[in-house]
Amino acid sequence: MEAKYDFEKKYREQILQCSRCGFCQSVCPVYGATLRPALNARGKMLLLKEVMDGKIELGKELIDSLFQCTTCASCANNCPSGVNVPEIIKQVRKDMVNIGSCHPAFAGMNEVLQKATNIYAEDELPDFDRKRDQKAAYVYFIGCVGAYREDEATEGALDLLDRLSVDYTLISEVCCSGVLEDVGYSLNPKLASQNLERIFATGAKTVITGCPYCYRTFTQRQEYDELRKRGITVLHISQFLKDLDFGVTTDKKVTYHDPCDLGRHCGIYEEPRATIRKIAPDFVEMQHHHADSLCCGAGGGVRGAYAKNSLAMARRRLKEAEDTGAEILLTECNSCVHNLANAKLRKQNIKIYNTTAFINELMHRKAKDK
């Protein structure tokens, strides 16, 4: 029988390879928050097998299972059968969009990114009182969450670059649009071209970004190949900072949350830790860290489409952070900061920062005390 959908054509063997062992269940953030077996990777693979066998239809009834995945890749990382669940899910979502069975939040996001310059349809890109579209050695690319939702975290990162006398410019950036690939659509090439033109116009040889998702898109998507062809290096800010000396330390106990997009998806684990160890001698790991890190719940469009469950996932992660006895939780992603900070209850004393904003605060305090 000929395969009806592209997911089957591309991933039939992988889906059948799932041995239903359930190793994914213990690490799936969606399962952890909901305790619903249909929502973890094994449940999703079983549903897809039934679709391939013609027992159930791929349709609206499956939206809440197949669209409720943060694409954190924790399941793939722990799968003894080597099933690459996030890639399968991304393809299934495209198939569902093609048959008109998409989650309305994601259809809305795609619509927004055909007209607007950012995922929130905000009219004006904040300039953070910095120069924009100038000649400079570095471009600092903020990303949608940093620009429109976590302005304080972005201020902290930019203040730190200023303290370090980095010759950078912001650009009239638009959404990298990589997220569309995760939610059933395709990256918008017009937006990619606009970003490329604006980066090239600055003459910069390096793009630094504080957003792991933008980093991933710039370094892995072919729509941004021109950056590589022109010899422009893209760095996540944790890579840029790792060899620098800041001259400040904290005596507080600090722990670190690996963003999925930076860790499992890009393999960047040690650079953030190299910096944190310099500034925080009392650094502790959480129970789940590096490739085994628990997702904060924000990825794959889940924060937008399933906010309650997304925040419940963040609360589980916060509990792990608190269990270490840390007073400070650092991470390297505006989406993670946003979701974790939104999930934090008033009675919880742990403070959440991007590493850049925390270093900036330490340097600011030191300068003030002098």
Partner 1 sequence: MEIQGYTLPDELYYEENHYWVKEEGDLLVMGMDDFAQKMAGEIVFVQLPEEGKELTAGKKFAKIESGKWLGKVFAPVNGELAAVNEELETNPGLINSDCYGKGWIYKIKPSDKGEVANLIHGKEAVEKWVLAEIEKYAKE
Residue 349 burial by Cβ neighbours in a 10 Å radius (0-12, 13-18, 19+): exposed
Using the contact rule CB under 8 A, the part of the chain among 79-87, 118-126, 175-183, 277-285 near partner 1 is 118-126
What is the smallest separation between the CB atom of 303 and partner 1, expressed in angstroms?
8
- 347/370 with CB nearer partner 1: 347
List, as one string, the DSSP characters of 239-303: HHHTT--------S-EEEPPPTTTTTTT---HHHHHHHHHH-SSEE--SS-GGGPPP-S-TTTHH
Nearest CA-CA partner of 330 in 161, 142, 162, 157: 157
| Region from 20-28, 190-198, 227-235, 340-348 binding partner 1, contact rule CB under 8 A | 340-348
Among 55, 229, 346, 368, interactor with partner 1 by CB under 8 A: 346
> ∠ at Cα 40 (38, 43), nearest 5°?
45
- Dig out the tokens for 196 from the structure: 């490329």
How many residues form the binding site for partner 1 (CB under 8 A)?
Answer: 17
Looking at 16-24, 116-124, 200-208, 217-225, which segment touches partner 1 (CB under 8 A)?
116-124
Stretch that binds partner 1, among 115-123, 173-181, 199-207, 223-231 (CB under 8 A): 115-123
Q: By C-alpha distance, which of 217, 236, 269, 304 is closest to 77?
A: 269
Considering just the CA atoms, what is the radius of gyration of the chain in Å? 21
Of 23, 120, 128, 200, the one binding partner 1 by CB under 8 A: 120
Scanning residues 133 to 172, which ones bind partner 1 (CB under 8 A)?
Answer: 148-149
- Interface with partner 1, residue 115, by CB under 8 A: no
At its nearest, how many Å lie between partner 1 and the CB of residue 227? Answer: 29
User: Of 345, 349, 369, 370, which lies in the binding site for partner 1, with binding defined by CB under 8 A?
Assistant: 345
| 109 near partner 1, rule: CB under 8 A | yes
Contact positions with partner 1 (CB under 8 A) in 32-51: none
Task: List CB contacts of 173: < 8 A, sequence separation 6 or more.
Answer: 125, 141, 142, 143, 147, 195, 198
Q: How far is the CB of 280 from partner 1 (least distance, A)?
A: 25
| Cβ-based nearer residue to partner 1, 43 or 156 | 156
121 in contact with partner 1 (CB under 8 A) = yes
- Residue 105 found at the interface with partner 1 (CB under 8 A): yes
Taking the least distance from each CB to partner 1, the nearer of 248 and 307 is 307
Q: Judged by CB, which is closer to partner 1: 106, or 240?
A: 106
CA distances from 200 to 124, 172, 185, 276, 343 (A): 22, 12, 27, 32, 39
Helix (H) or strand (E) holding 170: none
- Outline where the chain has alpha helix (H): 6-17, 29-34, 41-52, 63-66, 74-78, 85-98, 104-115, 144-148, 151-163, 179-182, 189-202, 212-220, 225-229, 237-241, 270-279, 302-305, 307-323, 334-343, 355-369
The span from the CA of 218 to the CA of 196, in Å, is 10
CB 258 within 8 A of CB 269: yes
Q: Which of 55, 115, 308, 370 binds partner 1 (CB under 8 A)?
A: 308
Q: Of 16-24, 114-122, 163-171, 361-369, which part binds partner 1 (CB under 8 A)?
A: 114-122
> Which residue is associated with the tokens 């992660």?
317
Q: Among 304, 340, 355, 359, which residue interacts with partner 1 (rule: CB under 8 A)?
A: 304
Q: Which stretch binds partner 1 (CB under 8 A): 70-78, 80-88, 172-180, 305-313?
A: 305-313
Q: How far is CA 91 from the centre of its chain?
A: 19
Figure out which of the listed residues 92, 119, 147, 153 binds partner 1, where binding follows CB under 8 A.
119
CB nearer partner 1, residue 41 or residue 145: 145
Strand, helix or coil at 210? coil
The window from 33-41, 43-51, 179-187, 341-349 that contacts partner 1 (CB under 8 A) reads 341-349
Interface residue list for partner 1 (CB under 8 A): 105, 108-109, 112, 119-121, 148-149, 304-305, 307-308, 311, 342, 345-346
